A and B are shown apart, each in its own frame.
Chain A
C-alpha cells in the first residue's frame, strides 16, 4: 500500500466508528419517520370527516351548504328540527364523528337583509394535538368553500346585498366539547393555543435531558480517561455519595441551563404566536399554582432519572469519545416523546402507543402540562410515581455497579449467589 493509501486507510478506520455512523443512520430514520408522518397528515386531509347537520333554514342558500357537506363529508345525521340536536350529537359521538352543524333559522333572510347568516358548529374534539384537529380543518375548509359558493350566487344574481356580506355571507359560531368542557372556540384554535402554550415544554425537556445527560456521561468518561476514578474510589466516601454528588451537580447545571433556555424559548414562541389576543385562562384552560408544582416535581424527578440512566451508561464509557456514542440512546428517548407529544394528544393515542409513551420516563413532564390543563391529575401523579420508582431503581443499579469491578474492568461479577446450595 502506498503512503497516501496507508494514511487514508488509517483515517477512515478512525473516523468510521459506531459513534460517527449510528447518529447519521438514526437521524436519517427520524427524517424518514417525519416524512411518513407528513404523508399520514396528507392522507388524513383526504379522508372524509364524519358529521351531521340540522338545516333549520331549509332555504336555497342553506342548501348550498348542505350540498357541499353531503359531497365532501360523510354525513351520518341530518334534520331540519333543532329539537333533534341532542339525538344528533349522541349519534355523532357514537359514530366517532367530529361535528354537528346547525344552519340557523333565518339564515338566508339575514343574508339578504345585509347580515351574516349564522352557522352554529358543535365540535366533538378528542385530542389537543396538531394531528388531532386535521378533520376539523377539513370541515372548516368545506364551510369556507360553501360560503364562497354563496358569495358567487349573491354576486351572480345581482342581489342588493352589500359587498361585505356578499364576500363574507356566513358567520361561524363555534362550541367545542373537549374533555368534559364546553369551550366557545373551534378545535383548531384550541389546538393552536395549546400548542403555543405547551409546545416549548417538550423542547426544553428534551434539551435539558440531552445536555445534562451528556455532562454526566462525559464526567464519568473523563474520570476514566484522566485516571482519577481509581483514586476517587479508594477515598473514604460512600459510593452512594459519589453517585449522588455527580447527579446533583449535573442536575443543578442542567436546571440552570433549562431556565436560560426557557426564557429564550418563551420569548421566541411569544414572538411567533398568532394567538396573542386570546388567552387560555379566559376559557378556564390554565394551570393553577398546584399544577405548576406538579409540573416542577415531574420535571425534577425526570431529570434525576435521566441523569441516573446516563450515569449507568457512563459506566460503560471507556473515554470521552465513547461517551458521545452513549449519549445517543438517551437522545432518542428524549426526542421520541417530544415529537409524539408535540403532534398528538396522549388521550387519542392507540393503547400500545400510550403504554410505550408512559414507559419512557422522559415523556411525563412533556405530557403533564396539557394533562393538568384538563385536570387529568391521575395521569400526572401516576407518571410522577412511575418516574420516581424508575429513578430509585436506576440509582440503586448505579450504586451497585460502583460496588462491583464493572467500572474498572468491564465485568460486574461481584459474588456468586447460592441457589439451593449450589453456586450460580
Chain B
C-alpha cells in the first residue's frame, strides 16, 4: 500500500524555487530517507508533506488523501519531528507528552503518554521541567512525542541530531522497531551511516531535484562504492 505519493512537487518561496518538481512514493512500513547537501530542499519537502507549507504546484497524496484538500484529515495520522524542534519550557516532560496526547482521539491517553515516556527514557527526569533538560534529553523527549501516537506516517527531520552515539543508537533502534510495527517513516539525515542502517530506500536531493533514488545496497553497487557516503559524494559532485 502506498502511504506517500509525491508527484512533480514544486515549492517556491517568492521567486526562489526550493523544490523543482520532484516525485517519489513510499510504501507502508518502509523507512524512506531523503539525503542531500545543506539547502538541497530536504526540509522543505518534509514540511510540505507534514502540512506546514503549501504546495506551489504538483500534488501529494498521503494515505490516498489529497494534501491540499484534506490537511486536517492527514494530521490525524502523521507525526512530524522538526530538526530544531522545541518543547514548552514551563511544562515537565510528562505534562508535555500529556498535552500532545490530548489532541488525539485516543481512548487511552495514559497509554500513549506511557509509551512516550518509555521511548524518551528519561527516568525520573520526566517530571522535571523541560527547561532543565540537556539538548539530548530534549531530543529524546521529542522523539518520544513523535512516535508515542503510533502514527501511520512519521516524518523525522534529522531524528538523532544533537544526540551522543549511545542515545543515537537507541533512537535508531526505536525507529526501526516502529517501522516493523507498520509505521511508515520518512526521514532526512546528514549521517550517512544512519541512512545506510535505517533506510529501505533513499532519494538523493541536490538543488531541489532528486538526482538519484534506490535501495542503499543497490546504489552502492551501482556506483561501486563501499558506503552511502561515497555514493553521495559521487552523485553530488
Contact assessment for B88 and A228 in the assembled complex, using a CB-CB cutoff below 8 Å: yes
In the complex formed, the residue of A with least CB distance to B79 is: A234
In the complex formed, the residue of A with least CB distance to B84 is: A227
**Residues of A with C-beta under 8 A to B142:** 231
Bound together, the chains give a CA A15 to CA B86 distance in angstroms of 27
Bound together, the chains give a CA A376 to CA B89 distance in angstroms of 49
Q: Which of A371-424 contact B (CB under 8 A)?
A: 404-405, 408-409, 411, 413-415
**Residues of A with C-beta under 8 A to B52:** 230, 233-234, 408
Contact assessment for A234 and B87 in the assembled complex, using a CB-CB cutoff below 8 Å: no
**Residues of A with C-beta under 8 A to B80:** 230-231, 234
Among candidates B54, B75, B105, residue contacting A234 with C-beta atoms closer than 8 Å: B75
Contact assessment for A409 and B53 in the assembled complex, using a CB-CB cutoff below 8 Å: yes
Contact assessment for B85 and A228 in the assembled complex, using a CB-CB cutoff below 8 Å: yes
Q: Is the interface of B mostly helix, strand, loop or mixed?
A: loop
Contact assessment for A236 and B72 in the assembled complex, using a CB-CB cutoff below 8 Å: yes
Bound together, the chains give a CA A168 to CA B195 distance in angstroms of 100
A238 beta carbon closer than 8 Å to chain B: yes
In the complex formed, the residue of A with least CB distance to B51 is: A234
| Contact bitstring A227-252, B, C-beta under 8 A = 1, else 0 | 11011011111100000000000000
In the complex formed, the residue of A with least CB distance to B82 is: A230
Contact assessment for A236 and B86 in the assembled complex, using a CB-CB cutoff below 8 Å: no
A158 beta carbon closer than 8 Å to chain B: no
Q: How large is the interface on A (under 10, 10 to 19, 20 to 34, 35 or more residues)?
A: 10 to 19
A159 beta carbon closer than 8 Å to chain B: no
Bound together, the chains give a CA A405 to CA B54 distance in angstroms of 7
Q: Which of B74-129 contact A (CB under 8 A)?
A: 75-76, 78-80, 82, 84-89, 100, 103-105
In the complex formed, the residue of B with least CB distance to A225 is: B86
Among candidates B13, B82, B87, residue contacting A409 with C-beta atoms closer than 8 Å: B13
Among candidates A227, A235, A404, residue contacting B85 with C-beta atoms closer than 8 Å: A227
A226 beta carbon closer than 8 Å to chain B: yes
Among candidates B51, B82, B104, residue contacting A227 with C-beta atoms closer than 8 Å: B82
B20 beta carbon closer than 8 Å to chain A: no
Contact assessment for A238 and B72 in the assembled complex, using a CB-CB cutoff below 8 Å: yes
Known contacts A230-B52, A408-B53, A411-B13; is A237 also within 8 Å of B87 by CB?
no
Among candidates A231, A235, A238, A414, residue contacting B82 with C-beta atoms closer than 8 Å: A231
**Residues of B with C-beta under 8 A to A233:** 51-52
Contact assessment for A226 and B72 in the assembled complex, using a CB-CB cutoff below 8 Å: no
Contact assessment for B50 and A234 in the assembled complex, using a CB-CB cutoff below 8 Å: yes
Bound together, the chains give a CA A408 to CA B46 distance in angstroms of 14
Q: Is the interface of A mostly helix, strand, loop or mixed?
A: loop
Bound together, the chains give a CA A231 to CA B103 distance in angstroms of 12
**Residues of B with C-beta under 8 A to A235:** 75, 100, 103
**Residues of B with C-beta under 8 A to A237:** 75, 103
**Residues of A with C-beta under 8 A to B53:** 405, 408-409
**Residues of B with C-beta under 8 A to A231:** 80, 82, 85, 100, 142, 145
Bound together, the chains give a CA A409 to CA B14 distance in angstroms of 10
Bound together, the chains give a CA A318 to CA B78 distance in angstroms of 27
Closest Cβ–Cβ distance, residue A239 to chain B (whole Å): 9
Known contacts A227-B85, A235-B103, A404-B54; is A411 also within 8 Å of B79 by CB?
no
Bound together, the chains give a CA A238 to CA B87 distance in angstroms of 20
Closest Cβ–Cβ distance, residue B208 to chain A (whole Å): 16
**Residues of B with C-beta under 8 A to A415:** 54
Contact assessment for A228 and B87 in the assembled complex, using a CB-CB cutoff below 8 Å: yes
| Contact bitstring B61-82, A, C-beta under 8 A = 1, else 0 | 0000000000010011011101
**Residues of A with C-beta under 8 A to B51:** 233-234
Contact assessment for A230 and B85 in the assembled complex, using a CB-CB cutoff below 8 Å: yes
| Contact bitstring A215-232, B, C-beta under 8 A = 1, else 0 | 000000000001110110
**Residues of B with C-beta under 8 A to A230:** 47, 52, 80, 82, 85
Known contacts A404-B54, A405-B54, A413-B54; is A234 also within 8 Å of B78 by CB?
yes
**Residues of B with C-beta under 8 A to A234:** 50-52, 75, 78-80
Contact assessment for B88 and A414 in the assembled complex, using a CB-CB cutoff below 8 Å: no
**Residues of A with C-beta under 8 A to B100:** 231, 235
**Residues of A with C-beta under 8 A to B82:** 227, 230-231
**Residues of A with C-beta under 8 A to B47:** 230, 408
Closest Cβ–Cβ distance, residue B73 to chain A (whole Å): 9
Bound together, the chains give a CA A236 to CA B88 distance in angstroms of 18
Closest Cβ–Cβ distance, residue B4 to chain A (whole Å): 15
Most buried by B among A227, A230, A404, A414: A230
**Residues of A with C-beta under 8 A to B105:** 236
| Contact bitstring B135-155, A, C-beta under 8 A = 1, else 0 | 000000010010000000000
Closest Cβ–Cβ distance, residue A253 to chain B (whole Å): 14
Bound together, the chains give a CA A231 to CA B12 distance in angstroms of 22
In the complex formed, the residue of A with least CB distance to B142 is: A231
Contact assessment for B103 and A236 in the assembled complex, using a CB-CB cutoff below 8 Å: yes
Closest Cβ–Cβ distance, residue B95 to chain A (whole Å): 14
**Residues of B with C-beta under 8 A to A408:** 47, 52-53
Known contacts A228-B88, A408-B52, A414-B54; is A236 also within 8 Å of B104 by CB?
yes
Bound together, the chains give a CA A2 to CA B14 distance in angstroms of 42
Contact assessment for A226 and B76 in the assembled complex, using a CB-CB cutoff below 8 Å: no
Bound together, the chains give a CA A233 to CA B78 distance in angstroms of 12
Bound together, the chains give a CA A230 to CA B52 distance in angstroms of 7
CB<8 Å pairs between A and B, sample of 27? A226-B86, A226-B87, A226-B89, A227-B82, A228-B88, A230-B82, A231-B100, A233-B52, A234-B50, A234-B51, A234-B52, A234-B75, A234-B79, A235-B75, A235-B103, A236-B72, A236-B76, A236-B105, A237-B103, A238-B72, A405-B53, A405-B54, A408-B52, A411-B13, A413-B12, A414-B54, A415-B54
Binding site for B on A (CB under 8 A): 226-228, 230-231, 233-238, 404-405, 408-409, 411, 413-415
Binding site for A on B (CB under 8 A): 12-14, 47, 50-54, 72, 75-76, 78-80, 82, 84-89, 100, 103-105, 142, 145
State the 9 A-B residue pairs at the shortest beta-carbon distance, nearest first.
Answer: A227-B86, A226-B86, A234-B80, A236-B75, A236-B76, A235-B103, A230-B82, A234-B50, A228-B86
